[in-house]
Structures are given as C-alpha cells and as structure tokens.
Amino acid sequence: MQVFVAAAVTAGLSLVLATAPAIAGPLEDGVKAYSKADYRAAERLLMPLAEQGNVDAMYSIAMMYHKGQGLSEDKVKAHLWYDLASRNGDKDAASDRDALERDMTPDQVAEAKKMATEWKPKAK
C-alpha cells in the first residue's frame, strides 16, 4: 500500500510541475514590457541585466538606444551595447552594429569602441 501511495504522489507531483506555467524572471518580464512598448519598465528590468553581462539584455538595450525607445537616442551607446552583445555571442548584433556605424562619425565610432574595450560587467 505504501508503494502505491508513494507512486501516486510522485506521479501527481510530476503532473503538477509539468503543467505549471513557467515563472518569469526579470529578462522575460523586460522582453515582455519591450514588446508592449512599455520602454520605461523594459529599461528598468533590462539595464541591470545588461550591465551584468546578459547578452539578450545587452541586445535589447542596444536597440532601445538605437531607436530612442525609452532611452534617449544615442548612437555611441547603441554601438557599445551592440558590440558587447556581439562579443558575447548574439548573432544579429554585429550586423546591426555595422549598419549603425555607417551613420556615425569616426569620432563616435572610436568613442564607442573605447567604451566597449574598457567595459566590465557589474557584480550581480
């Protein structure tokens, strides 16, 4: 009888865990806010993650600076975050950075590259 009860409890718990919705974290919440054009919330949630080295957050922050969505449009900062995202494995960031670079002055590009070289992730 104990084996049957234990098996039933284990099966029931497995079913509950398998059907429970995933709990969203700051990244998921930030992406959701961005997709709803709630850029203030997106920046609040994504910037700390980007500063800690989260590649998805880095790319999102780059787009926000590039498009002036919730953050002042800033080509240098957009280039910085695209570059960092690219260095950390985002497959789209390099081409976006390169396209942006065509609309930047040589001084702006140099400043962005210097900032990227000096950048260090913040502690979590």
- Tens of pLDDT, residue by residue over 78-124, are 999 999 999 999 999 999 999 999 999 999 999 999 999 999 999 88
pLDDT > 90 fraction of the chain, expressed in percent and rounded:
79
Which residues, other chains included, contact 101 with Cβ-Cβ below 8 Å and sequence gap of 6+? 79, 109
Residue among 75, 30, 74, 70 at smallest CA distance from 52:
30
pTM here is 0.80
Q: Spell out the alpha helix ranges (H) of the chain.
A: 2-19, 26-35, 39-51, 55-67, 75-87, 93-101, 106-118
Domain ranges of the chain: 22-118
- Report residue 24's pLDDT band, with 50, 70 and 90 as the boundaries: confident
Is 49 within 8 Å of 27 (Cβ atoms)? yes
- Report residue 22's pLDDT band, with 50, 70 and 90 as the boundaries: low
Mean pLDDT of 18-28: 66
